[in-house]
Amino acid sequence: MNHRSRMEACLGGETLDRPPVALWRHFPVDDQNPGNLAAATVDFQSQYDFDFVKVTPASSFCLKDWGVEDTWEGNNEGTRVYQRRVIHQPDDWLNLKPLDPRQGWLGAQIECLKMIKSSLPDTPIIQTVFSPLAQAKNLAGGNLLLVHMRQHPEAVQQGLKTITETTRRFVEEVMNIGVDGIFYAVQHGSYALLSREEYITFGRATDLEIIEAASGGWLNLLHLHGTDIMFELFLNYPVEILNWHDRETPPSLAEALVQFGGAVCGGLRQWETMVMGDPGRVKTEALAAIKETRGQRFILGTGCVTPIVTPRANILAARQAVEY
């Protein structure tokens, strides 16, 4: 099987030659230029030959044209630190204007995807897309977003409408150039942050609008970030793959396969195993996940990004673990 046929068979619950495997990471500094991010992404794939490529720009790529500023300060996950937000008062949500996805940083990311597709024509590619709530968090700061949601809900809803319109148009452009799907990152689907009712009010409709824009793809993955996730709330989202911190928060991979008709991605802890473990520990955890799922509708991966300090030997161990 090649990468595409293996992923298609996995999603269909068919017999495989081996389980698919995919890891992804940030590329700090490189992620500030489309050509450099494309080259770094292609180089990472050329080293490890994963079954799909998840393109990981900095979270600010979709926000800089609204005026946010961030900087690289050496975080081990590869993320940047926000220095300037653009939402300070409730009325600031009303002042957001839709962005043109063909211009500025959004347009640069489209060019990055074109470069990656040209270099990896036979490998499925998915683009990271942050939920409107996740983008709102970075526009305002996490605490201020929650305050505004609870004290000025109409203003936040208006801001989310603008963010959703911009994101939907960006996803449509992504689909138009033939990318295979999106990695849809949800950061507020956790009882540690919101109630179920709050998420339904502020998150669900915008999520579904963005995912609908990606419906022309065949490899859409939903990532639920954090612990204490509202897993049951997302089971009917029209995506092919679910990914969450399955080794740190319920449900287990086996439990999820009973509830969800698509594929699940995970099995490896990003810090305890991939960073602080050794190749033997990586292999043991990977094989345990394969056994738990019987290798059906399962993609070996981490619950979130692979930290940039992950030893090369551990990444190789994860890649080789599926070749049993």
pLDDT digits (tens, 9 = 90+) for 186-218: 999 999 999 999 999 999 999 999 999 999 999
Q: What is the pLDDT of residue 206?
A: 98
131 touches 206 (CB < 8 A): yes
Please state the rounded mean pLDDT for residues 229-251. 98
Please state the rounded mean pLDDT for residues 310-324. 97
Q: What is the pLDDT of residue 117?
A: 98
Alpha-carbon distance of 131 to 113, in angstroms, equals 19
Q: What is the pLDDT of residue 324?
A: 81
Which residue stretches of 224-311 are H helix? 253-259, 279-293
Q: With 90 as the cut, is the pLDDT of residue 17 above it?
A: yes
How much of the chain exceeds pLDDT 70, in percent?
A: 100
Residues 90-135 have pLDDT tens digits of 999 999 999 999 999 999 999 999 999 999 999 999 999 999 999 9
Alpha-carbon distance of 279 to 297, in angstroms, equals 25
49 touches 124 (CB < 8 A): no
Q: What is the pLDDT of residue 5?
A: 98
Please state the rounded mean pLDDT for residues 260-267. 98
Residues 294-309 have pLDDT tens digits of 999 999 999 999 999 9
Please state the rounded mean pLDDT for residues 272-299. 98
Query: What is the pTM for the complete model shown?
Result: 0.98
Please state the rounded mean pLDDT for residues 21-50. 98
Fold (topology level) of 3-321 = TIM Barrel (3.20.20)
Q: What is the pLDDT of residue 179?
A: 98
316 touches 257 (CB < 8 A): no
φ/ψ region of 226 (left if φ > 0, alpha if ψ in -120 to 50, else beta) reads left
Alpha-carbon distance of 109 to 38, in angstroms, equals 9
Angle between helices 132-140 and 153-176 (to 10 degrees): 120
Which residue stretches of the chain are H helix? 3-11, 34-48, 104-119, 132-140, 142-151, 153-176, 196-199, 205-213, 253-259, 279-293, 312-321
Mean per-residue pLDDT over the chain, rounded: 98
Q: With 90 as the cut, is the pLDDT of residue 271 above it?
A: yes
Please state the rounded mean pLDDT for residues 263-280. 98
